[in-house]
Structure 1
Amino acid sequence: MNATGRPFPWTLLLAGLALAQPACADDAVRRPGGEFVDLSIEELANIDVTSVSRRPERLQDAPASVYVITAEDIRRAGVRNLAEALNLAPNVQVARGSNTDYFISARGMNGTSNSPANKLLVMIDGRSVYSPLFSGMFWDESDVMLEDVERIEVISGPGGTLWGVNAVNGVISITTRHARDTQGDLLVLRADSDGGAAAFRHGGAMAGGAWRAYAKVFGLARSELASGQPIDDDWTQGQAGLRGDWARGAERFSVNANTWRGRQGQPAPGVIGAPGADKGLGDITTHGANVTGRWEHLLDGGGSVTAQAYYDYRYRRVPPTFRDAVDIADLQLQHALAPLGRHSIVWGGEYRYSWDHVENSRFVAFLPASDKQAWASLFAQDEVALRDDLRLTAGVRWERNPYTGAEFLPNVRLSWRATPAHAFWAAVSRTVRAPSRLDVDAYVPGAPPYLLAGGRGVRAETARVFELGYRGQAGQIVSYSVTAFRNLYDHLRTQDVTPDGRAIVFGNLMEGRSRGLEAWGNVQMTDAWRLAAGATLLHEEFTLKPGSGDEGSVMTTGRDPAYTAQLRSSHVLDEARELEVAVRRNGALGYPDVPAYWAIDARFGWRCAPGMELSVIGTNLNGGHAEYGVASVRGEVPRTVGVKLTWQR
């Protein structure tokens, strides 16, 4: 029996272990069209990443704590959405409170009682997808067709110099495939014990390039409390989009557009077993559309000039509290100079403008209800080859936001390649989380005259970050990465009583410190069998400054596991069959308490015909568990079993 009182699926686990025995592991196995077995440990280290320096560089050379989730990782794991895919990265914490309520962060600060997770910057093909309403993520609004993802670069640590404010504890950059790599037809059908999905994509050629179009729909049934009581959090959503890529001489062009519409139940705050607690507060409805255009001109000598512009519209209705409609227009320019002696310089700027309108209610209000905001920034970074084996990277960003004015975000990084297979790096950075409308404009009606009266005097939350890392390989069999970090936070948000005691306002009277360790690696057991492991350690301390009595923020700000660990086994059994088994362990969360848990996931894939793959996928095979939230309202993340059919030609 497991902790939930349900029988442990020993037969499934034993069958998986039996199939995982390396009976055919000594044969070099190549999957038709597959990337995994074609990439050796050394080749994986040579994957290009762009999020660290805004130009392609080898993962082995990147002076940052960066983990790459490849398209093949996503396919083998059998995940259903971006949030589940991020569980594959050992340097990010993923917690699910209900079907659509995800809390995701790196290096802690994963939400508090008065501050949702808001220190992680997420981009899809260069388009920032965090909400200007609260600087965090509505993960149900940020989706892609997973079969179109080329890679996900997960940087734990600051990225403010290159990507701006809010890239405090991490940057997640999702890159979709070039249209030329998605030609023909693809059909995906999936049925799970808690829902289902269908998706179709067609790609074709055009003069000088290629295009694709896709559509997908999915649905999830209600989840349950630990008591078995259903929660009104069922979710359905549809999405469609297209992408075109073409080239003409030294010019590269790309256009990407998406539209979506969703509906989800909204659990009602209450007590387990309370009458009507499963009825919810009324459905949350969402819809939106976005279009991104990108132009790149290749210069002689290896330089380039890039311009990107996007428009993003999002609508969200959350009864009975508010409705929010926001339009965002963004323009980015970048110039990567051809190498100048030992210098590699990249510089650029960005301008973003938003129109936001909130329809207020008697429960919460944003004043003013309608607001127009602008952000402007300039950045420059120089990478200097001090010696053939020693590089110094220095950069700074100036960014102006509507609430605190100009912020300066510098960073310095030093990397030393001791040998071709071993590299050390160190970094010092300063970054900030700029205030959002929630910090400044939020009001809760109540006598006298507001219970919560915004935060007109709020400051930017700041972090000074110190990092030391090592990345290495042991021949063609083992690769590994280790990073130690120290974060010093200041001006963290608090809820403080006004001097006259008549209302609560948002302030910045908390400071904090955290330190930790991140480590992961790969072991090529045989030509067809690879193990991947990762772990994190985290210690956080938060204290109030004089003038604040907000002990609740101190208790809840460090709601992060002290440790996480994972182990994945990827085994190509033969040309037609493969098995993926993953085991995860997350430490307990503090106030309110969430127990530590184990999770065992598995996928068996079978290429039953040319162009056709059938998968059987099980998640949380050892039983459901809680991951985030107050016990009386949080959903259990359930055990699920599903079947997926993928056909392409």
Structure 2
Amino acid sequence: MLTAHPRIFRSSGRTAALVLTLCVPSSFAFGTSLGQIAALDSLTEMNLEDLMNIKVVSVSRRSESLQDTAAAVYVLDGDAIRRSGVRSIPEALRLIPGLQVARIDSNSWAVSARGFNGTVADKLEVLMDGRSLYTPLYSGVVWGVQDTLLHDIERIEVIRGPGAALWGANAVNGVVNIVTRSSADTQGGVQTVGAGGEHNAYASWRYGSTLSDKGYYRVYGQTQSRREQGRVSGGANDDPWERSQIGGRVDLTADDRNRITVQGDAYRGAVYSPAVGENETFSGENMILRWTRQHGGESDTSVHLIYDHSKFDDKATYYENRKSVDFELKHSFSVFEHHHMVAGGGYKYSSDSLGSYDISVLGFVPQNRDDEAFDLFAQDQIDFFDDKLRLTVGAKWERNGYSGDEFQPSLRLRYRLRDDQSVWAAASRAVRIPNRLDQDVTAAGGAFQGNKTFRPEIVRAMELGYRGRLAATWSVDLATFYNEYEQLRGLSDDFSAPQSLPVFISNEGEGNSHGAELTVRWTPVPTLNIQAGYQYLDLDIAAVKGSRDQSIADNDANDAQNQFQIQADWDVNDRVSVFMSTRWVDDLPDQQVDDYYVVDINLRWLYSHHIELSVRGSSINDSSHSEFGGGAEIQRSIHGQIEWTF
């Protein structure tokens, strides 16, 4: 619902490569309670029992403890983000076991879960305070555009596996739910400045205060400028960029039962494009209005209304102007003590204008399009045997302008072995609905075209997991899965040697995947938290019988089959802390990327009660390495930061 990828479309000399990059699923690219969390200074102050009882909302859209969830869920606390020293949302997502996060160049990222990663990865639903960040242009997320003040993030909840029964289409392989803090929890001021390494400079400012006796507010602003990365072939990649953003939030308490939140952001930025010798530009604004009424007990009603506007211009190939509106009503209530219900519905409207500098190179027909979508959802959590067994049944119906009616059900089961150990299982169906790219694109003088009859991509997923505390200082979270895919996006012909023209986007692929994700936590002493994560993924995708598509089988070569990471968060004393993260990522054959191992370290020193100094080194063990195709190398970077609170 935002904007197109600033680095998707290139100059006319790369038309054939961009068609494959865009439209082939392989992304061919040679070319405790929430109040408790907020009150703690760091994750090192939480014992394993606290961590297992963190409240999450993404799985059932009602608050429940992590131990009770029947899904592969991970919660990244906002303080861990700040302690790690990362400077962007994709960098924060790297801290989450099981996600595939690859940096493409200075401002572009490939982020996915359980496969199908790429420059236009389209099977991960991402939300920020209820606002969907995916774009109807290609059903993915523009990570170089998405941002907020990291200091104000309360937590990031990640579901690995389908979440479409409550969150809707495109929540095929996972859901990322970014939740920012209430303005009541961001009182006073904080100012941050930093520079060094890849950062020319960055600065942020935020101030919060009260609004009489009815509520709180905060306002913020931030700006950053980053240097270019390197190239595999040597020299600079010519990809510096800059971005600025302002925003604010107001939280009002009308009375004991009614709460109102109003928040919004406005941003603009530029990415240098050597193809045209000037900057690609992007900008946008958004506004969220949310009303919540507490009826008593576990019953509440919430309504949100979201407006989003974005613009992008690459100065060579295309430009986009998009506006969207999202309305949703949700009601939670209990029935007969053992049934916990969530039900609601919503309406989405999107209007875009996609212009082309040369329709023979790249264009969209029609140039302007208005789309509407309606949905209804319901879920029932049923407790048996004194809450030892919980069955969750849910489904979402959607009607959209691309494929009509879609039904996405889910069945989840959780059984408590004891208070701190549980096993769970789930079965789900989810779809990735068509988008503008699938149906309306035209390129290469009409030799390549979208397909008005392109159908949704489908996944049927089965999951089995275990979550528990093995000892006072050890906990384990294990998830396994098996997915079957149908109607995957491909091409109607072999694009390198077509038998007939035009070549259309078509539902040419099918296959399956299986894998396992393991996270282990160890707290040997109260001031040290160590976490290790391992992921195994085997993706087997092929063209349907009789298809001439030669590229779809490369899906399994864009995702690391093995990933391993270790994080250590250590409070050395009352003033000094160290956060270290190491990760090893297997090779990506189709991207011509070798396996790599990197170490990131952030050192923080509380100079005084109001001033904190920090130094962060990224990839300090490796001068440069590639993480995804395209020819860019991510270089070692060391920067310093000063933070002043008042």
TM-score (norm 1): 0.90
Query: Residue type of the partner of 1:642?
Result: H
2:449 paired residue number = 453
1:529 paired residue number = 528
Q: Is the contact between residue 541 and residue 555 of structure 2 (CA under 8 Å) also seen in structure 1?
A: no
> Could you list the runs of 5+ residues in structure 2 that have no partner in the other structure?
1-37
Query: Residue type of the partner of 1:288?
Result: G
**In the aligned structure 2, how far is the partner of 1:79 from the partner of 1:203?**
23
**In the aligned structure 1, how far is the partner of 2:346 from the partner of 2:313?**
30
Q: Is the contact between residue 483 and residue 519 of structure 1 (CA under 8 Å) also seen in structure 2?
A: yes
1:300 CA drift (Å): 2.2
5 Å-filtered alignment, 1:243-282, equals 243-247=249-253, 248-266=255-273, 268=275, 282=278
5 Å-filtered alignment, 1:297-316, equals 297-316=293-312
Are 1:57 and 2:54 counterparts?
no
Task: Report the 3-state secondary structure (helix = DSSP H, G, I; strand = E; otherwise coil) of the residue aligned with 2:591.
Answer: coil
1:398 paired residue number = 397
Q: Is the contact between residue 215 and residue 240 of structure 1 (CA under 8 Å) also seen in structure 2?
A: yes
**In the aligned structure 1, how far is the partner of 2:465 from the partner of 2:122?**
25
1:290 paired residue number = 286
1:91 paired residue number = 98
5 Å-filtered alignment, 1:215-234, equals 215-234=221-240
2:205 paired residue number = 200
Q: Is the contact between residue 43 and residue 529 of structure 2 (CA under 8 Å) also seen in structure 1?
A: no
Please provide the CA RMSD for this pair: 1.6
Q: Is the contact between residue 45 and residue 526 of structure 2 (CA under 8 Å) also seen in structure 1?
A: no
**In the aligned structure 2, how far is the partner of 1:569 from the partner of 1:341?**
42
Query: Residue type of the partner of 1:377?
Result: D
1:469 CA drift (Å): 0.5
**Which residue of 123, 128, 133 corresponds with 2:132?**
128
1:437 paired residue number = 436
Change in Cα spacing, 1:65 to 1:89, as seen in structure 2 (3 Å) is same
Are 1:237 and 2:243 counterparts?
yes
**In the aligned structure 2, how far is the partner of 1:629 from the partner of 1:530?**
31
Task: Report the 3-state secondary structure (helix = DSSP H, G, I; strand = E; otherwise coil) of the residue aligned with 1:139.
Answer: coil
1:137 paired residue number = 141
1:634 CA drift (Å): 2.3
Query: Residue type of the partner of 1:38?
Result: E
2:645 paired residue number = 648
**Over residues 302-355 of structure 1, what are the superposed CA-to-partner deviations in whole Å (9 max), with x where a residue is unaligned?**
200100010000111113110001001000100101343311110001100011
**Which residue of 362, 365, 368 corresponds with 1:364?**
362
2:410 paired residue number = 411
**In the aligned structure 2, how far is the partner of 1:77 from the partner of 1:228?**
30
1:249 CA drift (Å): 1.8
Task: Report the 3-state secondary structure (helix = DSSP H, G, I; strand = E; otherwise coil) of the residue aligned with 2:261.
Answer: strand
Change in Cα spacing, 1:32 to 1:577, as seen in structure 2 (3 Å) is farther
5 Å-filtered alignment, 1:321-400, equals 321-362=317-358, 363-388=361-386, 389-400=388-399
1:119 CA drift (Å): 0.3
Query: Residue type of the partner of 2:412?
Result: R
1:644 CA drift (Å): 0.9
1:556 CA drift (Å): 4.2
Q: Is the contact between residue 191 and residue 642 of structure 1 (CA under 8 Å) also seen in structure 2?
A: yes
2:122 paired residue number = 118
Q: Is the contact between residue 97 and residue 626 of structure 1 (CA under 8 Å) also seen in structure 2?
A: no
Query: Residue type of the partner of 2:227?
Result: A
**Over residues 127-165 of structure 1, what are the superposed CA-to-partner deviations in whole Å (9 max), with x where a residue is unaligned?**
001111110011122100000000000111000000000
1:635 paired residue number = 632
2:487 paired residue number = 491
**In the aligned structure 2, how far is the partner of 1:469 from the partner of 1:463?**
19
1:480 CA drift (Å): 1.4
**In the aligned structure 2, how far is the partner of 1:135 from the partner of 1:465?**
20
**Over residues 375-432 of structure 1, what are the superposed CA-to-partner deviations in whole Å (9 max), with x where a residue is unaligned?**
1100000001122200100011101111110010000001000101110000000000
2:84 paired residue number = 77
1:484 CA drift (Å): 0.4
Task: Report the 3-state secondary structure (helix = DSSP H, G, I; strand = E; otherwise coil) of the residue aligned with 2:454.
Answer: coil
Query: Residue type of the partner of 2:177?
Result: S
Q: Is the contact between residue 327 and residue 354 of structure 1 (CA under 8 Å) also seen in structure 2?
A: yes
Query: Residue type of the partner of 2:228?
Result: R
1:32 CA drift (Å): 10
1:199 CA drift (Å): 0.2
Q: Is the contact between residue 42 and residue 80 of structure 2 (CA under 8 Å) also seen in structure 1?
A: no
Are 1:213 and 2:219 counterparts?
yes
**In the aligned structure 2, how far is the partner of 1:558 from the partner of 1:511?**
15
**Over residues 537-588 of structure 1, what are the superposed CA-to-partner deviations in whole Å (9 max), with x where a residue is unaligned?**
0001111113421111212454100011100111101100111111100000
Q: Is the contact between residue 627 and residue 633 of structure 2 (CA under 8 Å) also seen in structure 1?
A: no
Bigger CA drift: 545-554 or 593-602?
Answer: 545-554
Task: Report the 3-state secondary structure (helix = DSSP H, G, I; strand = E; otherwise coil) of the residue aligned with 1:497.
Answer: coil
**In the aligned structure 1, how far is the partner of 2:46 from the partner of 2:277?**
50
Change in Cα spacing, 1:267 to 1:518, as seen in structure 2 (3 Å) is farther
Q: Is the contact between residue 540 and residue 556 of structure 2 (CA under 8 Å) also seen in structure 1?
A: no
Q: Is the contact between residue 299 and residue 338 of structure 1 (CA under 8 Å) also seen in structure 2?
A: no
> Could you list the runs of 5+ residues in structure 1 that have no partner in the other structure?
1-30, 269-279
1:273 paired residue number = none
1:4 paired residue number = none
**Over residues 504-540 of structure 1, what are the superposed CA-to-partner deviations in whole Å (9 max), with x where a residue is unaligned?**
1000011021000001021001111111111100001
Are 1:544 and 2:543 counterparts?
yes
**In the aligned structure 2, how far is the partner of 1:639 from the partner of 1:569?**
20
**In the aligned structure 2, how far is the partner of 1:585 from the partner of 1:44?**
25
1:281 CA drift (Å): 5.6
**Over residues 225-280 of structure 1, what are the superposed CA-to-partner deviations in whole Å (9 max), with x where a residue is unaligned?**
12431112101000000001121220011111100000012355xxxxxxxxxxx6
2:108 paired residue number = 101
Query: Residue type of the partner of 1:634?
Result: G
Q: Is the contact between residue 302 and residue 339 of structure 1 (CA under 8 Å) also seen in structure 2?
A: no
**In the aligned structure 2, how far is the partner of 1:32 from the partner of 1:415?**
30
Query: Residue type of the partner of 1:309?
Result: L
